[in-house]
Chain A
Amino acid sequence: EAGVAQSPRYKIIEKRQSVAFWCNPISGHATLYWYQQILGQGPKLLIQFQNNGVVDDSQLPKDRFSAERLKGVDSTLKIQPAKLEDSAVYLCASSSRLVGETQYFGPGTRLLVL
């Protein structure tokens, strides 16, 4: 079984530029999560999708962050414009439809904003 895929693995941009991250969950997993992990911190949930609907985006900075999951499979997370404090690892995770199922994490995208 292939794991959660993410790209790119690394990205360096200047502040005020825009950036997009892509995630492909495990096949058949209905739930998809995006986390932000700042250096020295644990992952923090940004947004959760159930199929192509948003379940929780309460911690997503909506003035600059957006995410979509068209067709209920792949997802993209965008930052526009980026700020220095957005430097972090962005993790995607997925889980099956069942509540309480294990979340499987991707390798993450490491973003550096200069």
Chain B
Amino acid sequence: AQRVTQPEKLLSVFKGAPVELKCNYSYSGSPELFWYVQYSRQRLQLLLRHISRESIKGFTADLNKGETSFHLKKPFAQEEDSAMYYCALRSGSQGNLIFGKGTKLSVKP
């Protein structure tokens, strides 16, 4: 079964500390993975996708097929990074997304 697991409901770090939000997936095939973010009172929006191999707002994520993981990392967290982060898997060719339950990141001053 296709599934996305985010083991941490809440992650709290201090400003300037490194942060890693974990995401593991279960998928039979070539996965396409995404990270979506929802800042307070804002819409859910795409942060990054693995095929782009880009860094957005200092965040990066590497797809590890051996460990079936797609962890989101940032070397120095900022207070404005505080938000809900959702890992998502694209299912099939039609574009359907399967989301994890999300991790709330809190960056303290």
Contacts and interface: CB of A to CB of B under 8 A. Distances in A.
A108 B38 CA distance: 12
Interface residues of A, number: 26
B94 A106 contact: no
Interface in B11-58: 32, 43-46, 49
Given A42-B86, A42-B101, A102 B46 contact: yes
Contact of B44 (A43, A44, A55): A43
A48 to B, nearest CB: 6
Contact of A41 (B44, B94, B101): B101
B101 A103 contact: no
Contact of A42 (B43, B90, B100): B100
Closest 9 CB pairs of A and B: A42-B99, A105-B44, A105-B43, A43-B99, A102-B46, A42-B86, A42-B101, A42-B100, A45-B96
Interface of A: 3-4, 31, 33, 40-45, 48, 50, 55-56, 91, 95, 99-108
